[in-house]
Structure formats: structure tokens, C-alpha cells
Amino acid sequence: MTTLDRQPLRLRPIAALRGELTVPGDKSISHRALICNALARGEARVTNLLESADCLSTMACLERWGVQFEREQGATIVRSPGLDRFHAPAGTLDCGNSGTTMRLLAGIAATLPFSSTLDGDDSLRRRPMDRVLEPLAQMGAATDGADGGRLAPIVVGGQPEGLRPFRGRLSVASGQLKSALIFAALRATAESNIEEVGPSRDHTERMLGAMGAQIDTNGAKVRVQPGAALRPRDVDVPGDISAAAFWMVAAAIVPDSDLTLPAVGINPTRAGIIDALRAMGADLTLEHEREVSGEPIADLRVRYAPLRGFEASGDLVVRALDEWPVIAVAAALADGPTTIRDAEELRVKESDRIAATAAMLRALGAEVEERPDGLRIAGGATLRGGVVESRGDHRIAMAAAVAAMIAEGETELRGGESVAISYPEFWRDLERLRDAAAA
């Protein structure tokens, strides 16, 4: 990254968002297409893979265990020797900024006959890893981590007698934690039963099931039968609803907008943004609903409409987990207050997203009250340009860019280069929409 990339960005309002925009491949599914195929011996072809910093971290870590990747005519080929032939890595597996990489790979490291050390950047080193290490240790894995096993760097290895099954309830609804335990459970000595407090994203279960694993889901309970031989599987990655969310909110708040986002994933465990925007009165339609690679997708069409405040809590918080910073932008402009509860997990994302979202909105003139488990946003704000710091968090940077579209005057955004974590083309896509609006 050059110094120029780190210059603050100056963002101006936009006239209207119209036409079509294709968002990049889903980040969660991209990680899983790489990781699940790494478990199976052979070759798989992944198309529309998100090549963002986080997914590149996953590829670099898997390479250290002996998996190979090759780019070929718009696809990525995953070539794996199979889990039994992974080799001890030389040095540390660098997960960068990616919690998904570290937590999912911890589950795989727990099944290997050698130990692996996983580390990450300053943000990742602050995020809780005990939630994964403790249940893996209960299964018999050898685990260690900084600060008494709570933080990265972490060290994880299996044990010669194999892992015990996991049978218990997890304290947080987390797709990362659940996936790590599923990977470990595939290699346990008997059936595992994993119960969540609420259903988190289920991409791992869907993909492994299609590869031959015996996994049954019943609400927030997952049963994993070990021992099935996995077959490699080609994956066509759907568009990322968590990337689409920025444009969905943008089109909902900028007058005269009418924007279509083709082929976006609408997996019910991820589609909370659709329910949240509808609860606010947004004009949002799903067109051409269909399925790719075992995941439901649709073309999303969003037209400007006045929004009203709403109350969010419980399962909706998990189903729109990564979308709260940008939903908060819509809430600031809506008629009436919005309350977001049960969202304490947002404090341990790439930044403390409750604090970062409140600071971002206040910098642009909104009235926001920060609460331990969420936010109360007054609504009815007239946003005006200000100075926003992304705190190195890609989703805060993109939410600020959406707020700037409707703020009077100019917004200065610091740390805008962080979009590379999940959406490297974000600024270019914004320029494309701006050019289309001017034409």
C-alpha cells in the first residue's frame, strides 16, 4: 500500500443511484470454498471468488499446510493433497485482519498431528479467541494463546488418540465458532452435537453436506457424524449481501434512486438487512430468485422511499450481523428513533462497532446514544460533512461513505483503504455510480 492510498478521502453527496451494479463474491462463502475444498483430496474450481485481503490471508495460510491454488480463466483452482497429507507449516500462519481465517483454521489445526501457530494484525490480536480454543481443548486438542489463552497468537494441534466429540451449547451465536467445531467434529471419535444460542450463518453446513459430510441441522442444533470421505466440489460464489448492504441503504436514502444488484446471496441466516430495511418501510424487491452452489440468490432492486425508525433485537441482530453500521446510517435519517439491542458482539468485531458507529454518525451531525449492547439513534437527522476515522474497520469506512452521499458539504474519511479487507473495488464502484448519475 502506498502513502497515497492512506491519504484521507474527500467524499461529496451523490445525485441518485440508478441502473445496475454487480457486487463482489460473498466473503464468508469464499473462505469456505477454499477451506472446505482444502479438506478433500483433489481439485475444485471456484468462480466469482472474492479476492480481498481476508480471503488472500486464508489462501496464504492453507498454502503453508500444502494446499495449492492456481488462477485459470476467471476461476481459482484449489488443489489439495487431502487433510491427511497436510504438512507441518514452517513459521506462523498469518491471518492478517481476518477473524474467519483464524477461527475456522483453528478448528482444522485441532485435527492435525502437529501444532500450528496462527497470528494476525493488531486488530485481530485484540479479538477473543478463547471462545474457539476452550471447546477445542475440551475435545482434546492442545491449545495455547497469549494472555492465558484468550488472544492471538494462538497455537493449536491435535492429539494421537483423536478428538473427543463436542456435545454442548455455545455461549455466542457465531458462524466462525460453529464452523471451527464442525471441522474438528468431522475428525472426532464419535458424533458431535453443537447447540447455538441462536442460528448463525450456515454456509459451512451447506457446503460440507454437498461434499459428502453427514451433517444434520435442526434450528440452532447441528449434529456432525465423523468419518465421511469428502469429495471436492466446484463452487460458484454468490454476490455478497454484506457488500450489497451498502448500496441497498444508499439507494434507500438517496432521493430518486432505483438500483438493481444482480445475483446476491439471500441465505436466510444472512438476509437480515432485507427484513431490517423492510421494517423501516424501504421499497425493496427480490427478483429472479434461484439457487447457485446450494445457496439461494436473487436480484435485489431498491428504490428510494422515506424510512421510519424501528426496533431491532434477538435473531435479527445475528442475521444482519455485519450490517449494523450501515443500517445505523439509514436509522439516523429515518423518521423516529431506532433502537438496536442484543448486539454486544459488535464490540469485538474488526473494531468496537458500537463505539465506532456512534462516533461516525455523531461526526456527521446525528444524535446517537451508545448502550452496552447496542445503540439508540434519534432519527430525523440532517447530516452534514465532517471528519470520520474508520478505525481500520472496512465496514465503518463503507458505512461512512454511504452517510457522506446524503450529508451536506464534504466528508473527510480517514482509513478508507481498509475497504480492501472485503471489497477492494468499493471506491471504483462508487465512482461508476457517480458517473452514471452525472450522465
**In the numeric block, which cell numbers belong to residue 229?**
470421505
Rounded Cα distance, 353 and 366, in Å? 16
- Say what the alpha-carbon torsion angle 65, 67, 68, 74 is, to the nearest 10 degrees: -130
First to last CA, the chain: 32
Catalytic residue (one of 240, 322, 393, 429): 322
Q: One symbol per residue from 40 to 59: x for binding ligand S3P (CB under 6 A), - otherwise; what is it?
A: --------------------
Segment lying near ligand S3P (by CB under 6 A), choices 118-126, 168-176, 306-314, 361-369:
168-176
In the complex, the smallest distance separating the C-beta of residue 332 from ligand S3P, rounded to whole angstroms, is 22
3 state DSSP class of 270: coil
For ligand S3P, the closer of residues 396 and 405 by Cβ is 396
Q: Which of 45, 64, 187, 201 binds ligand S3P (CB under 6 A)?
A: 201
Distance CA 417, CA 125 (A): 20
Q: Which listed range, 12-20, 34-42, 86-94, 172-180, lies at the site for ligand S3P (CB under 6 A)?
A: 172-180
For the segment 88-107, give every residue that binds ligand S3P (CB under 6 A): 99-100
| 135 is a site residue for ligand S3P (CB under 6 A) | no
Please list, in sequence order, all residues whose beta carbon lies within 8 angstroms of the beta carbon of residue 427, skipping any fewer than 6 positions away: 9, 416, 419
Show Cβ contacts of residue 428 under 8 Å, excluding neighbours closer than 6 positions. none
Residue with cell 450463518: 201
Binding test (CB under 6 A) with ligand S3P, winner from 76, 116, 176, 418:
176
Site for ligand S3P in 410-429 (CB under 6 A): none
Residue-wise DSSP of 87-99: -PPSS-EE-TT-H
Q: Is 322 a catalytic residue?
A: yes
Which residues have C-beta within 8 Å of that of residue 334, sequence separation ≥ 6? 280, 307, 308, 309, 310, 379, 380
Q: Is 174 in the site for ligand S3P (CB under 6 A)?
A: yes
Residues 299-328, one symbol each (x = binds ligand S3P by CB under 6 A, - = not), give ----------------------xx------
* Residues with Cβ within 8 Å of residue 182, at least 6 apart in sequence: 107, 192, 194, 204, 205, 208, 215, 222, 224
Q: At closest approach, how far in Å is the CB of 365 from ligand S3P?
A: 28
Beta strands in 160-225 (DSSP E): 167-169, 192-195, 214-218, 221-225
Given the complex with ligand S3P, which of 171 and 285 has the nearer CB atom?
171
Q: Interacting stretch for ligand S3P, rule CB under 6 A, among 38-46, 88-96, 146-154, 173-181?
A: 173-181
Minimum distance between the CB of residue 204 and ligand S3P, rounded to whole angstroms?
8
Total chain residues near ligand S3P (CB under 6 A): 13
Contact 75, 46 (CB under 8 A): yes
Of residues 28, 48, 269, 357, which one binds ligand S3P by CB under 6 A?
28
Handedness of CA 209, 28, 83, 109 (dihedral sign): negative
Residues carrying an active site annotation: 322
| Residue ranges that bind ligand S3P, judged by CB under 6 A | 28, 31, 99-100, 174-177, 179, 201, 321-322, 345
